[in-house]
Amino acid sequence: MNSLIIIGARGYGREVYHLATQCKEYKTEWDIRGFLDDHSEALNGYTGYPPIIGPVETYEIQPDDLFVCALGNVHYKNKYVSIIKSKGGRFISLIHPSSMISITTQYGEGLIVCQFVNISCDIVIGNFVTIQPFSEIGHDVFIGDHCHLNSHAFLGGYVRLGNYVTVHSGAKIIPRLKIGNNSVIGAGSVVTKNVQEDCTVFGNPAKVIF
């Protein structure tokens, strides 16, 4: 049986551990070996978790290893995914069985979909995208690589997200808008206009704050 290793043992790493134990592949295709994290004491005070094996940088990949990246920061996610991939590591997707993904939706490697997410039809999702619980993705949406959508995010039909976009909890993006690379949508925001690259927007309606 393959061994799943979770990159990141902080709060989100623990959440992804519990997500993994609820996926249909758990103990049928892979078991969970542990975490990679440079903070060896990240799990101190917590019980019921597998060990922290060591940092990403020094880990030697084994033939049966599989990986998932549990980092909320989109740029750190890219950094540590790139290190593991440079060593020949293989990434899988984790999709909670309560979530719905249309059969006409396409997605890349390393996708994480948490509980009660609805992903509609004819959507394209890039590599290493994370979608947190209760999010709604409308038809014909495009989501670039390494994006992170937090809980209760809503993307209307035909929305296009560039790469490395973060959509925080409860944010809503109305249909047909474009969100540029590296942009951040603040929690609870309602986006009514296109967002340029490298911008942080917040509010209802959302306005640029950085």
Q: How confident is the model at residue 5 (pLDDT cuts 50, 70, 90)?
A: very high
Give yes or no for residue 25 having a pLDDT over 90: yes
- In tens, the pLDDT along 77-100 reads 999 999 999 999 999 999 999 999
**How many angstroms separate the CA atoms of 133 and 150, rounded?**
7
- The three-state secondary structure class of 163 is coil
For the CA atoms of 56, 167, 134, 30, the dihedral, rounded to the nearest 10 degrees, stands at -20
| pLDDT value at residue 210 | 85
DSSP letters spanning 63-114: TTEEEEE--SSHHHHHHHHHHHHHTT--B--EE-TT-EE-TT-EE-TT-EE-
- In tens, the pLDDT along 31-66 reads 999 999 999 999 999 999 999 999 999 999 999 999
Q: How confident is the model at residue 123 (pLDDT cuts 50, 70, 90)?
A: very high
Whole-angstrom CA distances from 56 to 20, 52, 69, 87, 94 are 20, 11, 11, 10, 20
